[in-house]
Structure 1
Amino acid sequence: MVTLVLLPGMDGTGRLFDDFRATLWPGAAAMVIRYPPAQALDYAALETLVLSQLPKDAPYVLLGESFSGPIAVAIAARGAPNCVGLILCCSFVRNPRPALAWLRPLLARAPLHLAPLGLLSRLLLGPRSSAAQHAAVAGAVAEVAPHVMRARMLSVLSLDATEPLGRVALPLLYLRAGRDRVVPRSAAALVARLNGRTQIVEIDGPHCLLQTFPATAVSAIYPFIRQIEAALETAGPA
C-alpha cells in the first residue's frame, strides 16, 4: 500500500487536512507532516525536516499543498526509492504573483498580526465556505508566530524551484482550482511546461481546495494512486 504524505499550506499546522483525511477512501494510508509554528525555517530547512519524517521502508506519494509544493518537488527530484509519485495542489515552483515582488520591503516590516484575517480567509476559501471552515483557517493561522508567517511569505517571493521540477521522473498530478484567487492558472501551466509527466485536473473551487471540496479532490487523487499501486504490484519486489 502506498502512503499519502501531506505537506501543509503556509500555516504549516496540518490542521486544515482534517476533513480531507476523513474523506479518503477506506483503508487509505495517510500521514501529515507539520512545521514548527515558532521557528522561521526557509525552504531548504523545511525540506530537511520533511526528509527526516518520511516513511523509511514503504512507498509514498508526496502531496504538496500551496506553499509546500516546492518542498515536495525538491524531494521528488532527489529520486528517493520510496517516493513513487508527486501531487501538487494549487501550488507553484516560482513566485506565482511576480508583479507583487515590489512588496518585499514592505512585507519585511508589516505588522502581520494586524492583517484583516476575515478578508484573507474569504480569499482562500471562496464565497460559498462555511463559518466552520473560516474558524478552522483562523485557528490554524493563530497557531503560527507572525515572524514565521512573514518568513514563509518572503520565501515564496524569491522562490525558484524550476530546475528540480524538470528532474522529477515520477507520475505527477496537479490539482488546479478553477476559482483560485491566490495562485493563477499560469502556475499550473508552468509546471506542465517544465515537466511533461504532469497531469492537470481542474476542480471548480477556491484556493483551499482540499478544505472546501475534499470529496472531489479525493476522486481525482484515488485513481492516480491506484495506478501507481498497480504499477508497483506489476513490477514486484525490487
Structure 2
Amino acid sequence: MTATLPPMLVLLPGMDGTGTLFQPLLDALGPSTPVQVLDYPSDRALDYPALEERVWQQIPRERPFVLLGESFSGPIAVGIAARRPTGLIGLVLCSSFVRNPRPALAPLAPLLKFMPLQYLPSWPMDALLLGGFSTPTLRNMLITAVARVAPAVLRLRLREVIGVDRCQALAALEVPLLYLRAREDRLVPPQASALIQLLRQDVHLIEVDAPHCLLQAEPMKAAAHLQQFMQMLQQTGHDWQSSTG
C-alpha cells in the first residue's frame, strides 16, 4: 500500500444501489477529494452477504481509504470493516443502521413479495426520503434512480434490512467512526443512531438539518464534515478521542 497517497473516500449507495444519487456530494467534494463510487446490480437480487463480497472485491488495495455506507449500505460497510482490510482508516455511516430500524414492520416481511413496487406512486417515497427538502431536481434524481432497479431486487433489499443485525460486528470494531444523522429523517429513527452510540461510545455523531437523503439535500454540509473527518485521520499521532469530545 502506498501510504503517501491521500485517503480515498469509498461510497456505498442507498437502497437503489445505482450510485447516481451521489452526484450532488461529488460536486460538493470537488476534485481535491479522491472518491470511488461503488454500485450494485439493478437486475440481480443479491442479499447482504453477496453484496458485501462484491464490495470486498472492489475496495482499494494500494492506498488508505475511508468507507461510507449510506442508509441500506451501513451493514455492508460494517461487515467490510469487520474484515479489517488493509488501508481502512475510517468508517462513516450516514442515515444508516446496524439493525432493522423499524422492528415493528418485521412481521410484514412475508408480504413484501406481493408488493407491486413498480406501480406505487412517487409521493410516498418523496415524503419519506426528502420531506420538506424536496425539489424538482432531487425528486427527478430519486425517481430515475429507483426506476432503474427491478422490483424483485428492491423487495429482497427490503427483506434484508428487516433481518439484518451487525451489532456485534460494530461493537468489535476499533476503526474511527463518524455517524451523520439527519434531524428530519422520516425513515431511519433516532433510535438507530442511539444504538450505534451505545455500541460504540467513541462514535463522532454529527446532526444535520436534513431529510433521510442527507447527502443529496445538504451536500455542502456533508462534504465539509467528511473532509474534516478525513483530515483528522491523516494527522500524525492524532488523538481521535480528544477531538470528538
Q: TM-score, normalised by structure 1?
A: 0.95
Q: Does 1:137 align with 2:142?
A: yes
Amino acid at match of 1:202: E
Q: Does 1:12 align with 2:17?
A: yes
Partner residue of 2:183 out of 178, 181, 204: 178
Structure 2: how far apart are the matches of 1:15 and 1:113?
A: 19
State the partner residue of 2:86. Answer: 81
2:93·2:180 contact (CA, 8 Å) conserved in 1?
A: yes
Q: Does 1:163 align with 2:164?
A: no
State the partner residue of 1:40. Answer: 45
Question: Offset at 1:114?
Answer: 1.5
State the partner residue of 2:242. Answer: none
Structure 2: how far apart are the matches of 1:102 and 1:148?
A: 20
Amino acid at match of 1:138: I
Q: TM-score, normalised by structure 2?
A: 0.92
Question: Offset at 1:128?
Answer: 2.8
2:12·2:73 contact (CA, 8 Å) conserved in 1?
A: yes
Partner residue of 2:206 out of 186, 201, 205: 201
Question: Offset at 1:25?
Answer: 4.7
**How large is the RMSD of aligned CA atoms in angstroms?**
1.4
Structure 2: how far apart are the matches of 1:30 and 1:221?
A: 12
Amino acid at match of 2:133: R
How many residue pairs match? The answer is 234
Structure 2: how far apart are the matches of 1:192 and 1:223?
A: 20
State the partner residue of 1:192. Answer: 197
State the partner residue of 1:227. Answer: 232
Structure 1 residues 78 and 197, CA, compared in 2 at 3 Å: closer, same or farther?
A: farther
Runs of 4 or more, structure 1, over 2 Å off, are none
1:65·1:89 contact (CA, 8 Å) conserved in 2?
A: yes
Amino acid at match of 1:113: Q
Within 5 A, what are the aligned runs for 1:52-67? 52-67=57-72
Structure 2: how far apart are the matches of 1:130 and 1:37?
A: 25
Q: Does 1:217 align with 2:215?
A: no
Question: Offset at 1:232?
Answer: 7.8
Deviates more, 1:170-179 or 1:18-27: 18-27
State the partner residue of 1:113. Answer: 118
2:133·2:210 contact (CA, 8 Å) conserved in 1?
A: no
Amino acid at match of 1:120: M
1:25·1:222 contact (CA, 8 Å) conserved in 2?
A: no
SS at match of 2:204: strand
1:170·1:197 contact (CA, 8 Å) conserved in 2?
A: no
2:61·2:86 contact (CA, 8 Å) conserved in 1?
A: no
